[in-house]
Amino acid sequence: MTNTQKEVLQFIKEQDVRFVRLVFCDIFGHIKNLSISEDELDRAFATGISFDASAVKGFLQVDESDLLLFPDPSTLAILPWRPAQGRVVRFFCSIRRPDGTPFEGDGRSLLEAKVREAELSLFKFGVGPECEFYLFKMGDDGLPTYRPLDNGTYLDVAPLDKGENVRREICLTLQQMGFHTERSHHESGPGQNEIDFKYSPALEAADNFITFKSVVKTIADRSGLFASFLPKPLAHESGSGLHINLSLSCDGEQQTQRLEEAMTEGILRRIKEITLFLNPLANSYERLGACEAPRHVGWGRANRSLLIRIPQTSGEYRRIEVRSPDPACNPYLAITLLISAALEGVKDNLKASEEYLGDAYQKLSGEMLPSSLGEAIDLAQKSEFVRSVIPERLLTFFLEAKMADWKRYESSIDKMQESRAPFFLTT
């Protein structure tokens, strides 16, 4: 992987690259891109490439529409499914205003700034996402259906598992892009799959998740299938989660029990306030509390239905696993908020609360995650913590959009259908 502008430009020349995709995300985490010719890349590094931000939901109004994309040279990757002659490469970009200031709606830059802030205090985070998704069959009309690819269950093999070749191609494609996966398997639901990422720094992990979703959808489509990252696409089957593993070192020292306890309690203290950004759809709340997806605010070591699980590992594998997020989230905002809450817990030197032990815990606490998108919106609106992390303009647009989603859902007759339909194709 090249990481300087000079090396990138040399690579472009040597590898017969003809097109360059400049990739970014809107405030909801939906991937966007524009393509430039390879001879425009030098200008993109120097002065940026403009685009009409008023056409991107949640960005700018028509009277202030121009924004600029600046490619990050360290994120260069060839798109392996494009032709070998006249190759296509991709860069993730930061977004700036014409005066050079960072655009406050750019979640990637927000996470990058939070990582720098942590490093100034000698803290370094590792992030490892575990992502679940469904593979559905296509209809005769060429549109996706809600008919899953197979009737397999957890860790099944062929012929019950009909997704193994798709997962294999996904993993090989990601490997060609410099992206390392650790394991893959059939999940509990029919047509449901999981692929886990190797640990990486926070910004790289968020970039990897966006890359992962793009590759999964592309390979599924090439296989005549539709990949959905909707949290609860099938009413009576397992939902899809995005379990986020976090590790924290301080001044080069591996995660200790003190750091582990403090970051866990920091996240638990703020989890209800930030749930809107971890679970951003009405459909998200049909997943929580069912089929091992967490509902109670607590932690533990063995139970996989907990909000935070602390695996029995040590050394470089020591981590906490936050199990409530789902794949519909904007990973840049989600990881930024989780890191911010973890750092707050460490700085406040929080001590471990009582471990979640099922019914006994419910008698002690009973604190639960928001039960609906509307409740999550209300908690986020009232949160001083959220306002201290998320820029006001981004927060305002995000809350307005989510409130519109909630009102549409509340006014619908078939709530399950309404929670899926607007987001099935985009999530």
Q: Does 215 share its domain with 357? A: yes
Is residue 170 a part of any domain in this protein?
Answer: yes
Q: How many domains does one find in the chain? A: 2
Of 85, 103, 121, which closes a domain?
103
In this structure, is residue 404 part of a structural domain? Answer: yes
Domain contains 285: yes
Residue 108 lies in a domain: no
Pair 97, 126 in one domain: no
The residue among 103, 129, 157 that closes a domain is: 103
Query: Which pTM was predicted?
Result: 0.94
Q: Quick check: is 394 in a domain? A: yes
Q: State how beta strands 181-186 and 87-96 pair.
A: unpaired
Q: Are residues 138 and 83 in the same domain?
A: no
Range of the domain at 9: 5-103
Q: How many CB atoms lie within 10 A of CB 96?
A: 17
Asked whether residue 71 falls in the same domain as residue 31, the answer is: yes
The beta-strand segments (E) located in 38-86 are: 49-52, 66-71, 77-78
Residue 290: inside a domain, yes or no? Answer: yes
Structure tokens at 223: 């296989």
Residue 198, domain member (yes or no):
yes
Q: 132 with 191, same domain?
A: yes
Tell me how many degrees the CA angle 50-21-337 measures, rounded to the nearest 5: 80
Do 98 and 145 lie in one domain? The reply is no
Q: Is the same domain home to 149 and 37? A: no
Per-residue pLDDT of the chain (427 residues; tens, 9 = 90+): 446 898 999 999 999 999 999 999 999 999 999 999 999 999 999 999 999 999 998 897 756 678 999 999 999 999 999 888 889 999 999 999 999 999 999 999 999 999 999 999 999 999 999 999 999 999 999 899 999 999 999 999 999 999 999 999 999 999 999 888 889 999 999 999 999 988 899 999 999 999 999 999 999 999 999 999 999 999 999 999 999 999 999 887 777 888 999 999 999 999 999 999 999 999 999 999 988 899 999 998 877 778 999 987 666 668 899 999 999 999 999 999 999 999 999 999 999 888 877 554 444 457 899 999 999 999 999 999 999 999 999 999 999 999 999 999 998 867 767 677 767 777 7
CATH assignment of the domain containing 275: 3.30.590.10
The answer for residues whose C-beta is within 8 angstroms of residue 219's C-beta and 6 or more apart is: 81, 166, 169, 170, 173, 227
φ/ψ (deg, to 5) at 260: -60, -50
Report the alpha-carbon distance of residue 326 to residue 241 in Å, rounded: 4
The answer to whether 73 and 4 have CB atoms below 8 angstroms apart is: yes
Asked if residues 131 and 209 have their Cβ atoms less than 8 Å apart, the reply is: yes
- Domain limit, last residue, from 76, 103, 130: 103
In CATH, what number is assigned to the domain containing residue 42?
3.10.20.70
Query: Which residues fall within 8 angstroms of residue 206, CB to CB, at 6 or more apart?
Result: 108, 111, 127, 331, 332, 335
Distance, in Å, from the CA atom of 18 to the CA atom of 36, rounded to the nearest integer, reads: 9
97 and 165 in a common domain: no
Same-domain pairing of 91 and 130: no
* Residues 370 and 349 occupy one common structural domain: yes
Helix (H, G, I), strand (E, B) or coil at 240: coil
DSSP SS3 for 244: strand
Same domain, 123 and 35: no
